[in-house]
Every structure is written in structure tokens, then in C-alpha cells.
Amino acid sequence: MRRGLTPLLWTLFSAGGTLAAFLYPIHLFLTGLAFPLGWLEPPSHEFALSLLRHPLTRVYFFGLISLPLFHWAHRFRYTLYDGLMLKHLTIPIVIFCYGGALVGSLAAAYLLWTLP
Amino acid sequence: MPETVQLTVTRYRPEQESAPTVQTYEVPYRKDWVVLDALNYIKDRLDGTLTYRWSCRMGVCGSCGMMVNGEAKLTCATFLSHYQRGPIRVEPLTYFPIIRDLVVDITDFLHKLKQVKPWIVRREEKPLAEGLSSVRPGSGQALLGTGEYRQTPEQLELYKQFSMCINCMLCYAACPVYGLEPSFLGPAVLALAQRYNHDSRDQAATERLERCSEHDGIWQCTFVGECSKACPKNVDPAGAIQQFKLAGTLHWFQSLLLPWGTK
Amino acid sequence: MTTGPAYTSHHPRWYRRRVSVWWWLESWRYAKFVLRELTSLAVAFFAVLALFKIRAIAAGPEAYARFLERLQNPVFLLLNGVAFLFVLYHAITWFNLAPKAMTIRVRGVRVPDWAIQAGNYLAWLVVSAMAVWVLRRG
């Protein structure tokens, strides 16, 4: 039974939502508030780069960026359908949302693959 | 304690008006009265033309669903004392077409309910007469398909919650997706589909899954969750639908990766 | 709209109420739902921020320093603060609703919702602590 792609999209939505729920609060707190406001010392460039170079970290950040982007795509699509009653614009909305998530994922993959 | 309370009730008489109006009534305020009692008082003493549905007056038939101060309620289970000051606004169930006054048309729901086959489906039935002779010697256990079905309390627990649905449709009145997308099968229909999917006697779970995975089924739901809050019987249709999504997803991956494994 | 009696060929005309595009403002419950859905924008915001951070790290120490400095701009601090609150709301609603989709049974008895929720929150604390530990080592 291959009824459309919805189950796959829902899987990405769920995985992305779970990752975002567990990890985004702390990451956003550190990067967006604690480090800039001086509550905690941000990692040095040397350490950040060496940490990022590790294959496991690359996989981690790829997942951390890509999956929540697909979570956003799926959720925002339905927010536009129901919240603003834009269901008649299905095609541009689908392209914008999942296309956007795809572009973000490709950018993440490129950046993480080509680290100096 | 006030002597009376005001009810502002929707009126719609298609033979004399093209849009609903509102009429206000003053009814006695009794501590033990529910909104249905107030409506019956209006019909008996004040205005016999008021039209509304009700039956059991004890919260089991599902007939008296209406909007009370904007919330979907069973009027036989909603006490006047909850709204002491009044005025109490009584309107027909949201998202359904109004036939007259507080009566809405529910054929859409009934039509959708039939599509999920809310009954036990077996690939083959064996007549009851065969049943007694098919008892496995020594065990006292009747074999399945012999007309008699045995079910353990654990098997019953798997679907019992979803079987509590009284088809009152308060969940439809609470569900914005049903309002925005009239083709949506809706909370009660999907919960009832799950009631049979989880019943050990039933053999049509895959069939129902395929029907409910269509564009108007489980994937329309965005888990607002209001349906479960409105349900007077704690059926938790929102939970039923999320479980259905998970089951549908697992089935989808299974049919993709192991096509020979699915029935 | 007709003002006289309303009939179709088979029955009196039913009245169909229109759903307004502002339906989500009609009740606090609906508004909370839309706020929950809008958290996805904050999620996308951080994903993009993370992308820029990785790009800055890859571009060298000066780029990294400039990136860190730019985040100290009050506009960004406000944006990040708001996004953080939304992401927090996403996490809380996600953990609270998770048991609805997953019914776990241990020896025939269903694990109660509060247990799954508590497990989620505990895992959240552990994972967050681990992230801080890893990032603080430099």
C-alpha cells in the first residue's frame, strides 16, 4: 500500500519534532542567549572546529538541522492550509515548504562535508 | 441565589426567515436543573415552537448535543449552576447545517461512519451450531470461528475506551479541521474505526487502514486535541487518531520494505 | 440572500454557517493551538542560525568572532529570546502529547501517560546536560 508520501512526511515531521524538542531548547539557549550575554564562555574557534570535524558531530549536526527543517515544512504547510485557509495554493505551498527544507538540508550537508 | 436565569437561544424557521435569529427566555434557576430542563421548561410553558433533540436525559444516547456558551456540550449533562449569572447562550452544534432552531443535520456523519465498516468483519463465519462440538477436549476453550468468540479482559481493554462513543458529535463541533475541510472523516468515525481495528474478533484492520489513509482520513488531522476535551465519554478520539497515524506509517514502511509480509 | 421563505425542492433550506478565516481567534483554546503550530517557525529559525554558525566556523576564526559579536546585537538577542520561548513551548507540548501516539504496554497493562511524560522530561534534562558538557570542554 503506497498511498502517497504522507506517511513518510509524517515520519520526518515526527523525527524532526522530537529532535527539536529534546535538543533545540539547550542549543538555542547557549548559542542565542548564554554565550552572547556572557553567562557562559563560548567555545574557542579551535575547539569548535575540531569538534565539528569529527564524523559523529557532522552526522549529529546534519540531523539536528535537516530533520527539524522537515518538521517545520510539514507543520507550516498545514498551518497555512488551516490557519490562513490557503488550501487552494497547495502547489506553491508544498514547493516552498518541502523545497525549503530540502535546500536547507543540502546546505547543511555541503557545509559539513567541506569543512576545512 | 438568583430566582431566574436568561437563556439566549438560536431560532431558525426556514419558512419565515433566511438566517438564524436569537430569542431570549427567562427560566427558573434551580440548583439541580440542567440546560435540557431549561429547554423543556421553555417548550412546555413559554414557547412550544422551540425545536430541539433530546432523549435519554442521562448522557448515554448522544441526542442532545448543542453549543452552550460556545462550548459543545450534552445539554442533559450541563448544569445551570455552572453558569449562575447567565445569560446562557444555546446554539446548534457548530460546523453542521441547521435544519430548524437547535436541530442540525447529521447525515454527513452517518455516511462517513458507514465507510469505515463499524462492525466485526470476519473472512469467514462458522454457524453457531458447529460451536458446541468444536470445543477442544479437556480445555473447555471454544475455537475461534466456531460461532463463539472468546475474549480475555486484556483483549477487551485494547478497544474498550473507543467503544464508549455515543455518537453525540460534540467532537465534530469542537474540531476546526472538520469546519475547514468538510470532507474530513472526523474524530468519532476514526475512533470507531480503531474500536474495531483493535478488537481481537475483527479481521478488517488493513481494509479500514487503507480507507482511513485516504486524503479525507487520518492525515487531515493536525492533533488540535479539542475533540478529546469535548468528549463526554472520555473516548479520546485524538489519541485514537495519533495511534492510527503511527500504525498507518508502520504499515506503509512495511509494505515498502517487506511487501511480502503484509496481508 | 433571499428574505422570504427558503425552500429547496425537497426540504426547507438548511442554514450553513461560514467558517471565518479568523476562526482561531474565537477561543483561547484555538489560539493556543495556533501558537503551538507557529513554534515551527522558531524551529526553522534555529536551524538556519545553526547553518550560519557552521558556515562561520568553517570560514575561520575572524568569521567566527564576527558571528559571535553579531549575536550580541540587541535585535538578535530579542529574536533569540522570543525564539527560545517558542522552542520551549514546542518541547513542552511535544512531550505532553507524546503518550497519545505511543501506547506502550508492559505485560498487558498500559503504561500511564504521566510515566511517559516524566520519562520524556528526564531524558530532556539528561540530553541537555550532555550538550552543555560537550560544548564546555573548550
Whether residue A83 and residue C24 make contact (CB cut-off 8 A), yes or no, is yes
Q: B148 and B23, same structural domain?
A: no
Identify the pLDDT of residue B228.
97
Residue B28 dihedral angles phi and psi, to the nearest 5°: -60, 145
pLDDT of A2 higher than 50: no
Identify the pLDDT of residue B243.
96
Look at residue B108 and give its three-state secondary structure: helix
CA angle, B72 then B78 then B82, to 5°: 105
CA angle, B39 then B42 then B47, to 5°: 130
Residue of B nearest to A77 (CA): B222
Could you tell me the pTM of the whole model?
A: 0.91
Which residues lie below 8 Å from residue B64, measured CB to CB, with a gap of 6+?
A: B36, B52, B53, B54, B55, B57, B74, B75, B76, B168
Instruction: Choose, out of C40, C45, C92, the residue to mutate when testing the contact with A (most A CBs < 10 Å).
Output: C40
pLDDT of C2 higher than 50: no
pLDDT of B145 higher than 70: no
Q: What average pLDDT does the structure give for chain B?
A: 91
Residue-wise pLDDT for A53-97, tens only, equals 999 999 999 999 999 999 999 999 999 999 888 989 999 999 999
Tell me whether B223 touches chain C (CB under 8 Å).
yes
> What's the gap between Cα B11 and its chain centre?
25
Residue C118 belongs to some domain of the structure: no
Cα dist from B263 to A5, A21, B145, B199, B232, whole Å = 20, 36, 19, 17, 36
Residue C2 belongs to some domain of the structure: no
- Domain tally for chain C? 1
Start-to-end Cα distance in chain C = 72
Per the structure block, which three cell numbers stand in for B223? 492533533
Q: Write out the residue range of the structural domain in which residue B174 sits.
A: 107-261
ipTM of the complex: 0.94
> What's the gap between Cα C39 and its chain centre?
3
Identify the pLDDT of residue B131.
47
- Domain tally for chain A? 1
Whether residue B219 and residue A6 make contact (CB cut-off 8 A), yes or no, is yes
Residue C127 belongs to some domain of the structure: no
Whether residue A7 and residue B252 make contact (CB cut-off 8 A), yes or no, is yes
Residue A3 belongs to some domain of the structure: no
Whether residue B225 and residue C97 make contact (CB cut-off 8 A), yes or no, is yes
Query: The domain that contains C41 carries what CATH number?
Result: 1.20.1300.10
Q: Write out the residue range of the structural domain in which residue C36 sits.
A: 19-82
The rounded distance, in Å, linking the Cα atoms of B25 and B9 is 8
Shortest CA gap B103–chain A (Å): 27
- Domain tally for chain B? 2
Identify the pLDDT of residue C1.
45
Instruction: Choose, out of C13, C97, C100, the residue to mutate when testing the contact with B (most B CBs < 10 Å).
Output: C100
pLDDT of C34 higher than 90: yes
Q: B89 and B49, same structural domain?
A: yes
Final residue of a structural domain among B104, B133, B158: B104
The rounded distance, in Å, linking the Cα atoms of C120 and C95 is 6
Identify the pLDDT of residue B135.
53
Query: The domain that contains B131 carries what CATH number?
Result: 1.10.1060.10
Give the CA-trace dihedral at C114, B217, A97, C56, to 10 degrees.
Answer: 20
